[in-house]
Structure 1
Amino acid sequence: MARSLGQMFKGFLRLGSGLTTRTPCPPGPGSTHRASLLCTTAALQSFLFPKPRDLSLPNSSWGPDMMRLYEHYNSLCEVETEGEKQPGPWRRLPSYNRILKYATGGVYLSKIIQSKARLFTRNIKQQGAAFEYVVFVNKEEQKCVCVFQAGHLLEGPPGHVHGGAIATMIDSVAGTHATYLSGLVLTANLNINYRSPISLGSTVVLESFLDKKEDRKTFISCKVTSADGSKLHTEATALFLSITVSNIIGM
């Protein structure tokens, strides 16, 4: 069963890659048979491989601090050189309700493989109720930054964020960073020190740093601070192990 799922997954990836390289169909009544074929291919592509919704973009629930920090880091994703915009040192990472949707054709695959599964941090539809966040990565500095706004459904101590929700975000951000650096990984160890509570509805910043890499091991450190950087809320270290797609399918 694991082998057949793996073969099907790879097949969809190849199919998706082939379709996405097609040239879009030209407009106008004088279309040739080839153009008609390309139109059909484009339509098939949009049907089989629809674009997933990026949940890391601003919505009406984002507060002033969340928007300010988003705009700050987003502005660093592009720089203007001699009147032309070029990629900057930072990159915003898209976020979907399933990791599977990152793959070509992932939206379609997610409908047939555990279709009800959802990423824990993206499984609540109500905007602002739980995890609102956006992640940026800097390849040169080997650093990752997440702007996180905690919703009312994440309560632990009255009026404050549950420690498990904080741990979830640290694991998610550090894991995303490790994946960006080393490919597919799984968390092997996570150590957390809670310094001060986080108020519900507030915005905090999670910063992830690469400590070192050894063979399959990627060591990451992370800290959580207030939006202005004046207060340290949490510190953590994590170890991630590199894996392959076959490791995931065979679990």
Structure 2
Amino acid sequence: MTLTMILIHLPVLQSLPLPFSSKSRDFSLPNSSWNSEMKRLYEHYNSQCEVESEDGEKQKGLWRRLPSYNRSLKYATGGVYLSKLIQSKARLFTRNIKEQGGAAFEYVLFNNEEEQRCVGIFQAGHLLEGPPGNVHGGAIATIIDTVTGTHATLLSGTVMTANLNINYRSPIPLGGTVHIESSLDRKEGRKTFLSCRVTSTDGSKLHTEATGDF
């Protein structure tokens, strides 16, 4: 490709939507595709990330929002063993859909270090269909693994999933929002054991429950 052709195509390349852009975007921040329940739960936890003391000063709260970008390989030591080509193209599985606007995984994670809990708010897009009108079981497993795996990493450092046992209780409708909570059961040597529940946003319906060790 000549220099002239590169200059002609440069504006097009710069206008490509994330995650195929080189610019970093925090996908855990609210966007126009989030429904009212997604936004409500986000505000519920985000408001507890910073609290005001009696003298009016801002202090760190119990919860912390975890930023989420479309690639993590450059931060992982294992990436040095992969070719430069693979490293440059690697994208986080849950953030690699080119189509924007709530098409696939819309989620945000909050961590409570003191209570050893991590929650995820998940809105399922139309590209995640399994049974007609409902979310594919593999997509549910993916988001559970994302929440519990992130939680285990925060508790124990870099981990990999050793076992994930999932029980599906009731379907999650496409476009719906669910609340995912991961809690620490115990640690045994190098292993971290977690429990996870996926419920409706008001907690009245259990969609999925899981246990895992990392």
When normalised by structure 2's length, the TM-score is 0.83
What code does the residue aligned with 1:89 have?
A: L
Equivalent residue in structure 2 for 1:183, among 140, 146, 157: 157
The alpha carbon displacement at 1:146 in A equals 0.2
What is residue 167 of structure 1 aligned with on the other side?
Answer: 141
CA pair 63-163 structure 1, distance change in 2 beyond 3 A: same
For 1:53-93, what per-residue CA distance to the aligned partner results, in whole angstroms no more than 9, with x for missing partners? 11100000000000000000000000100101111000000
Q: State the partner residue of 1:54.
A: 26
1:99: how far off?
A: 1.7
1:102 and 1:147 map into 2 onto residues whose CA distance is 24
Q: Distance in 2 between matches of 1:111 and 1:200?
A: 37
Residue 234 of structure 1: how far off its partner (Å): 0.2
Q: Is the 8 A contact 1:52 1:101 kept in 2?
A: no
Determine if the alignment matches structure 1 residue 214 to structure 2 residue 194.
no
1:78 is matched with which residue? 50
Provide the residue aligned with 1:129 in structure 2. 103
Could you tell me how far 1:52 is from its partner in structure 2?
2.5
Would the aligned equivalents of 1:145 and 1:206 in 2 still touch at CA under 8 Å? Answer: yes
Distance 2:67 2:170 in 1: 30
Query: Which whole-Å CA distance do the structure 2 matches of 1:127 and 1:111 have between them?
Result: 31
In the alignment, which residue of structure 1 is the partner of 2:205? Answer: 231
Name the residue aligned to 2:72.
Answer: 99
Note if 1:63 corresponds to 2:63. Answer: no
SS of residue paired to 1:70: helix
Q: Is the 8 Å Cα contact of residues 223 and 234 (structure 1) preserved in structure 2? A: yes
> Unpaired runs of 5+ in structure 2?
1-21
Deviation at 1:210, TM superposition (A): 0.3
Structure number with larger C-alpha Rg: 1
Whether 1:115 and 2:115 are equivalent positions in the alignment is no
Q: In the aligned structure 2, how far is the partner of 1:154 from the partner of 1:61?
A: 15
Name the SS for the 1:153 alignment partner: helix
Q: Which runs of 5+ in 1 are unaligned?
A: 1-49, 241-251
How far apart are residue 113 of structure 1 and its match? 5.2
Distance 1:154 1:112 in 2: 29
- For normalisation by structure 1, the TM-score amounts to 0.71
Aligned length: 187
CA RMSD of aligned residues (A): 1.9
The correspondence for 1:144, drawn from 114, 118, 137, is 118
